[in-house]
Amino acid sequence: MRQYARQLVLELTAQKNSQLEARVQRALINTQEDVNFQCQRQADATSISQEKLQRPISQIRSETIPVDETAIKSFIQAVLRSEVDKKSKLEQETQCSVNPTISGPDRVDFTAQINATIERSIQAAANTMGNAIKIGIRDLNAMKDKFRERQKLFDDAQVEDDEDEDIMSTEKFRLQQRIQDAWRRTYIDVRRGSTVLNAAGNVLLGEDAHGEDSEEIAVSRTRTCAHEEEAIDLQ
């Protein structure tokens, strides 16, 4: 009778162990799938953020106008020459219309006046072009500063994404370790408590001891029978 009960207990214990291993395996697979899903969602959100930052940066790069110093100098010279020619021609026409014949000291004064007018015209044109260049350089510098700020934000976001990814990988590994340790401890506890006797002398499996899938194996052994068997052994 003892041999039969022991064999039955071992068979049921092996069956319960197989069921427990299957449950542990399913739980690990489900947990792994959930963790992978969460990681993929985080990666998608990070990609969307990077795209949103990349669009204004690309727009700034496309809107940046390169400065050609040679073209600027040529343009200034052309404007100055044009201003001088117009002013000189205007002054000469005015003076000639007022005084058709100019000679002697008057001619010297007339030449000085023309030179002064030319100088004022050149100075005015130079000031105009200088102010225009300063405004252009200031706007260009402001645009470059904005670009640097957005580039810095993008770089900082890249660094934070890398750090978050490292933290996520570490947390994912720790979560897997905790889950595996918890299931391993549960599995060991069930195996250790797979043959437990209750107060009535019945043999319970490990899961039965926790109140799940209760299956009792009635072992017909009473205190009287135990005493009788011990007496027979002594004889």
120's enclosing H/E stretch is helix 105-192
Q: What is the dihedral of CA 57, 58, 61, 64, to 10 degrees?
A: -100
Tokens of 142: 């402001």
Q: Does 153 reside within a domain?
A: yes
Q: Does 228 reside within a domain?
A: no
Q: Does 212 reside within a domain?
A: no
Q: Does 235 reside within a domain?
A: no
Q: At a CB cut-off of 8 Å and minimum separation 6, what does 159 contact?
A: none
| Domain extent for 171 | 2-192
Q: Does 105 reside within a domain?
A: yes
C-alpha dihedral sign at 89, 91, 96, 101:
negative
Angle subtended by helix axes 105-192 and 69-98, to nearest 10: 160
Q: Does 231 reside within a domain?
A: no
Q: How far apart are CA 224 and CA 235, in angstroms?
A: 17
Q: How many distinct structural domains can be found in the chain? A: 1
Q: Which residue in this structure is represented by tokens 């969602």?
A: 41
Q: Does 86 reside within a domain?
A: yes
Q: What is the DSSP string of 220-231?
A: ---HHHHHHHHH
Q: Does 215 reside within a domain?
A: no
The two counts, helices (H) then strands (E), for the chain are: 5, 3
- Tens-level pLDDT at each residue, the chain (235 residues): 677 777 777 787 878 778 778 887 887 787 777 777 777 777 777 777 667 666 665 665 555 555 555 666 667 667 666 766 666 666 666 655 555 554 555 555 766 777 677 677 767 766 777 677 777 777 777 777 777 777 777 777 666 666 655 665 666 667 777 777 766 666 666 555 544 444 444 444 444 444 444 444 444 444 444 444 544 444 4
Read off the CATH number of the domain in which 107 is found: 1.10.287
pTM over 0.75: no
